[in-house]
Amino acid sequence: MKETLVFVHGMCHGAWCWERYFIPYFEELGYTCLAINLPGHAEAGSSKSISYSLNRYVKALEELVDSLDEAPILIGHSMGGMVVQRYLKTGRCKKAVLLASVPPQGVLFPSLRVLSRYPRTIPYLFQANLLGAFKQYPQLFFNEKALAEQYLPDLCAESFVAYLGLFLPVSHQIKCPVLVIGGSEDGLISVEEFQQTAKHYRADLEIIAGGSHGLMLDETRGEVMEWMKGWLTLK
């Protein structure tokens, strides 16, 4: 029997983002797959305001992993990548994959970059309305208009308190093997930041040509899953 994979979604997403492609693919390979809904994210498309802290998200992941008999493999996307990083300061896992992840230094520079490129996001930040900003600028998640139209209705409200928590950097090391995967056309995190994440954790790095921030749903998803499959087999 192969290991258990635990998938941790990013900002404004939910477990649904793994269920279309990643979970069927890895279950077919023999893995047990679990996708967590972080607190307040269980209802796709919900606009109900939430105010959970990033630490509460980390606690939710801790509770799930503690319920397992063996340490899993953790896959964290975007904000979920930072949740995984923070959890692994003291938590357990066999391997970790950081997919389009927030870098260890936090979201200060990605946020400033978004504000400079898309100044109309500023009113949404004053309103603590992250969902509104992403719906106004879907290219932050997806490079293809058709994909944005397909998945934007499933995005849910995000906690601004959790977003503020993403500004705090992490300095610890992760003891297990780590793979960093990023898209060359990511609208939120830069290739340089993916490189910095890999350097910080002495991790393997793969940059997916043409990949957007939504790597688990965009047209490069097959390449992403193949890279993960090969790395998980070898490490």
Does pTM surpass 0.95? Answer: yes
Reply yes or no on whether the pLDDT at 1 is more than 90.
Answer: no
Give per-residue pLDDT as tens, 18-62: 999 999 999 999 999 999 999 999 999 999 999 999 999 999 999
**How many angstroms separate the CA atoms of 48 and 53, rounded?**
16
What string of DSSP letters covers 125-137? HHTT-HHHHHHH-
Query: What is the separation, in whole angstroms, between the first and last Cα of the chain?
Result: 16
User: What's the rounded mean pLDDT across residues 86-96?
Assistant: 97
What whole-number percentage of the chain has pLDDT above 90?
Answer: 98
Residues paired with 208 in a beta bridge: 183
Please list the alpha-helical segments (H only) found in 67-174.
Answer: 79-87, 108-117, 121-126, 130-136, 145-151, 160-165
- 36 membership: H or E segment, kind and range: strand 32-36
165-to-19, 176, 205 alpha-carbon distances in Å: 27, 24, 25
**The two three-digit tokens of residue 218, written as one number:** 């965009």
